[in-house]
Chains A and B, each alone.
Chain A
Amino acid sequence: MSGRETVLAAIRQGLGRGPLGDAARRALDERQGATDSAPLLPKLPKGPLQQVFRAGLEKVSGTMSEVTKLDEVPGAVAGYLSGHGLAPEAAVAPSLESLDWSGAGIQASFGPTRGGDYAGVSLAWRGVAENGSLVLLSGPENPTSLNFLPDHHIVVLHGKDLVPHLEPVWVALRERGEQGWPRTVNVITGPSRTADIELTIQLGAHGPRSLHVLLVD
């Protein structure tokens, strides 16, 4: 018997029944989740989604600034870098390659990073108001390494991509159809932190020391 069959047989023995029939299995697949009901969504504080998102982000030590057009992003990034005393260099996601980075005085490299970059710039697929979370999908246009290796992570988020909870993200992901799930969906809520030494919270454990959102709206 294969490992799979051995484990499944042990489970069925524990459950005190044989394998489920095709009809029973189909019925399980047709359920809307385990409870076969709409998810229970926590009520959000009153106010526009942007405001709720910002409150959630700031609660976890993230920061945010707003621009009105995507074209303004390189300039805003340049402002962030000089404000933090950093050189005007950044590893940028190819999804943002068409912007005028050199015009803003930034020396940008496009693609994944191996850790030599102080700042990484990515594009979020969704923003989740509930906890001020960013949802990033991996792919050639958005390498995952940009989210974790640079000290400063700057994330571009379109206002239209803000959703109240995580649940609409899953619905949208299923609607991608053929493409299905990317290798990684990163839900990021604030900069890296640890409390492993004497329960003292310290930012920048292994991932970025700071997380900045550029909201385009």
Chain B
Amino acid sequence: MESLSHAFKERSVHALKDETLQVALHRAKDGFAVKRAKAVEGLPEFDALRDRAVAIKNHTLENLDHYLERYADAVERSGGKVHWASSAEDARRIVVEICRAAGAKMITKGKSMVGEEVGVNGALEGAGFEVVETDLGEYIIQLAHEPPSHIIVPAVHKTRGQIADLFHENHQKYGLTRKLSEVPEMVNEARQVLRSKYLDADVGITGANFLIAESGTSVIVTNEGNGDLTCSLPRVHIVTAGIEKVVPTAEDATTLLRLLARSATGQDLTTYTTFSTGPKRADDTDGPEEYHVVLVDSGRSTMLADQFREMLRCIRCGACMNHCPVYGAIGGHAYGWVYPGPMGSVLTPLSVGLKEAGNLPNACTLNGHCAEVCPVRIPLPDLLRTLRHREYQLKLGLKPLRWGLAAWVWFTSHPRIYRLGTRVQARMLATLAGRKGRFTRMPLAGGWFKGGRDLPAPQGETFMAVWARRQKERGQ
């Protein structure tokens, strides 16, 4: 997918002014946080399981080459085929080739973030295939020609009115005549239309939440059942997965599963957890005849080399964005690439470059809430801070910001001048503010006061001065 992250500021401003989006975001934010908290409360072992999950992921990443080889060998033994893609371009080419060789016309897709990342849909459509997303949220945004705005609920930014309009526009060819208004009838409408797509599809493409090395198994979780209809009805099943998805055993995957649904949607377990191993067996009466796995590196191996290895523990639950005040205010589209929120602000600059996405790590209050809820304890604020350092070292940030920081560093490393400066400034601002004790306007900072906000003025003394005075008083 092409990045629009360079336009983060403009897109954020636009998002803040979009009233429909604000309604949708407000609904989502409270819903997710409350549900997660309740689910976590119901499992006293949650924190111990998080420690386990960190250990599982760390061990696997340390030995990633071994477990991937073991996984790939097991897939081949079960009759499947493994394809290795170094880049997004490789992945697109491989998927298109498999579909061509299968003589496919129509392709159904289960939700796959790595699919979004490498741009599978665009490549397939460019090669003349009809591609249908089957996850309801993904289907809605496909009709709207938009990227997902959340990694778990891709259409969370849409209201039911907007969805009704989309169905009205696009489903007349399937016989829909009136505009729908209730959620159940919209779900049913999509169910009916997509039913025929599942049955007609030649190829089904899904992602993978986990890959199990011991058995060569890919695991997907869905609530709708769309992933299962996608991977079991067509003649060919293609799995696209990042190389970091592998774990050694089914027990390791089970530990992670206990964390995934609780962190993502507040469920104890997702409705359908499906373990696929190879194509249909000789005596099977249903299932795909071909089973392909496309393992995607696309920058992940580079992340192994430094502190960003921690980011490869990510199981894509979305808890970090559900608890992020910045995501909650602007939604996913403002971030401009596939992955939004805190995890996206780490991944996007690593993927598309700091020059393109340097704003993302800076759009963070470092409140640490994301790290608190992360099921695999990724220190997201630390990683974001590291990216800010990198940006500064590469001289990529805004010039006034660099000058300001340089001046700040000079002042703080000269304590006497710093104290004198702040004393004068505090007194000056207190005098200027007068009896009101607050500013209602200020040159060069007009934006701050929009929406009727005031800036409290200093009271005349610096903290250091008050401290010194109190110490002295206490000493007497």
Q: Footprint of B on A, CB under 8 Å? A: 2-4, 6-8, 10-16, 19-20, 24-25, 28-29, 31-35, 39-40, 42-43, 56, 59-60, 111-112, 114-115, 130-131, 133, 138-140, 143-145, 147-149, 165-167, 170, 173, 180-200, 202, 204-208
Question: What residues on B are CB-neighbors of A144 within 8 Å?
Answer: 228, 232, 286-287
Minimum CB–CB distance for A6 against chain B, Å: 5
Binary per-residue interface labels of chain B (217-229) against chain A in the complex, 1 for a CB within 8 Å, 0 otherwise: 1000001111011
Question: What residues on B are CB-neighbors of A24 within 8 Å?
Answer: 66
- A60 to B24 alpha-carbon distance, docked (Å): 26
- A210 to B45 alpha-carbon distance, docked (Å): 31
Minimum CB–CB distance for A212 against chain B, Å: 15
Interface centre among A11, A56, A140 (most CB of B within 10 A): A11
Given the known A-B contacts A193-B224, A204-B187, are A42 and B65 also in contact in the complex, defined by CB atoms under 8 Å?
no
Give 18 pairs: A residue, B residue, CB < 8 Å, sorted on A.
Answer: A8-B65, A15-B62, A24-B66, A56-B268, A111-B285, A167-B251, A180-B215, A181-B275, A182-B277, A184-B274, A185-B217, A190-B271, A196-B153, A197-B158, A198-B159, A198-B160, A202-B183, A207-B271
- A12 to B61 alpha-carbon distance, docked (Å): 11
Which residues of chain B in 84-129 are interfacial with respect to chain A, using CB atoms and an 8 Å cutoff? 84-86, 90
Look across to chain B and name the residue whose beta carbon is closest to the beta carbon of A211: B271
New A-B pairs, 13, CB < 8 Å, besides A56-B268, A185-B274, A195-B153: A6-B86, A11-B68, A11-B304, A14-B301, A140-B284, A144-B286, A144-B287, A148-B229, A186-B228, A186-B275, A194-B187, A205-B224, A207-B224
Contact present for A34 and B286 (CB under 8 Å): no
Q: Interface on chain A toward B: helix, strand, loop, or mixed SS? A: loop
Which residues of chain B in 135-190 are interfacial with respect to chain A, using CB atoms and an 8 Å cutoff? 135-137, 140, 153-156, 158-160, 163, 183-184, 186-188, 190
Binary per-residue interface labels of chain B (267-293) against chain A in the complex, 1 for a CB within 8 Å, 0 otherwise: 111111111111111011111000000
Minimum CB–CB distance for B303 against chain A, Å: 7
B250 at the interface (CB under 8 A from A): yes
Minimum CB–CB distance for A23 against chain B, Å: 12
B295 at the interface (CB under 8 A from A): yes
Contact present for B274 and A33 (CB under 8 Å): no
B394 at the interface (CB under 8 A from A): no
Question: What residues on A are CB-neighbors of B183 within 8 Å?
Answer: 197-198, 200, 202
Contact present for A143 and B223 (CB under 8 Å): no
Question: What residues on A are CB-neighbors of B188 within 8 Å?
Answer: 204
B43 at the interface (CB under 8 A from A): yes
Which residues of chain B in 199-242 are interfacial with respect to chain A, using CB atoms and an 8 Å cutoff? 199, 215, 217, 223-226, 228-229, 232-233
Contact present for B301 and A7 (CB under 8 Å): yes
Look across to chain A and name the residue whose beta carbon is closest to the beta carbon of B80: A183
The number of chain B residues touching the other chain, given as a range, is 35 or more
Interface centre among B67, B198, B275 (most CB of A within 10 A): B275
Q: Footprint of A on B, CB under 8 Å? A: 24, 27-28, 31, 43-45, 48-49, 52, 55-57, 59-60, 62-70, 72, 78, 82-86, 90, 134-137, 140, 153-156, 158-160, 163, 183-184, 186-188, 190-191, 194-195, 198-199, 215, 217, 223-226, 228-229, 232-233, 243, 247-252, 254-255, 257-258, 265, 267-281, 283-287, 295, 297, 301-305, 309
Interface centre among A167, A173, A181, A183 (most CB of B within 10 A): A183
Contact present for A181 and B217 (CB under 8 Å): yes
Contact present for B163 and A183 (CB under 8 Å): no
Contact present for A143 and B66 (CB under 8 Å): no
Contact present for B287 and A184 (CB under 8 Å): yes
Contact present for B303 and A189 (CB under 8 Å): no
Question: What residues on A are CB-neighbors of B265 within 8 Å?
Answer: 195
Question: What residues on A are CB-neighbors of B271 within 8 Å?
Answer: 60, 188-193, 207
Contact present for A115 and B217 (CB under 8 Å): no
Contact present for B78 and A205 (CB under 8 Å): no
Look across to chain B and name the residue whose beta carbon is closest to the beta carbon of A166: B254
Contact present for B254 and A188 (CB under 8 Å): no
Contact present for B84 and A183 (CB under 8 Å): no
Residue of A40, A187, A197 near B255 (CB, 8 A) is A40
- A113 to B460 alpha-carbon distance, docked (Å): 80
Residue of A4, A6, A7, A205 near B187 (CB, 8 A) is A205
Contact present for B254 and A170 (CB under 8 Å): yes
Residue of A34, A131, A148, A183 near B228 (CB, 8 A) is A148
Question: What residues on A are CB-neighbors of B279 within 8 Å?
Answer: 183
Minimum CB–CB distance for B357 against chain A, Å: 21
- A192 to B189 alpha-carbon distance, docked (Å): 15
Contact present for A7 and B134 (CB under 8 Å): no
- A130 to B194 alpha-carbon distance, docked (Å): 33
Minimum CB–CB distance for B79 against chain A, Å: 9
Residue of B83, B229, B254 near A207 (CB, 8 A) is B229
Contact present for B27 and A39 (CB under 8 Å): no
Given the known A-B contacts A34-B248, A115-B195, A198-B159, are A147 and B187 also in contact in the complex, defined by CB atoms under 8 Å?
no
Given the known A-B contacts A167-B251, A202-B183, are A183 and B272 also in contact in the complex, defined by CB atoms under 8 Å?
no
Question: What residues on A are CB-neighbors of B44 within 8 Å?
Answer: 42-43
Contact present for B251 and A112 (CB under 8 Å): no
Closest 3 CB pairs of A and B: A207-B225, A14-B304, A3-B84
Interface centre among B135, B158, B228 (most CB of A within 10 A): B228
Question: What residues on B are CB-neighbors of A139 within 8 Å?
Answer: 281, 283-284
Question: What residues on A are CB-neighbors of B287 within 8 Å?
Answer: 138, 144, 183-184
- A173 to B277 alpha-carbon distance, docked (Å): 13
Contact present for B223 and A34 (CB under 8 Å): no
Question: What residues on B are CB-neighbors of A182 within 8 Å?
Answer: 277, 281
Question: What residues on A are CB-neighbors of B63 within 8 Å?
Answer: 20, 28
Look across to chain A and name the residue whose beta carbon is closest to the beta carbon of B280: A183
Look across to chain B and name the residue whose beta carbon is closest to the beta carbon of A7: B84
Contact present for B134 and A206 (CB under 8 Å): yes
Contact present for B160 and A197 (CB under 8 Å): yes
Look across to chain A and name the residue whose beta carbon is closest to the beta carbon of B156: A199
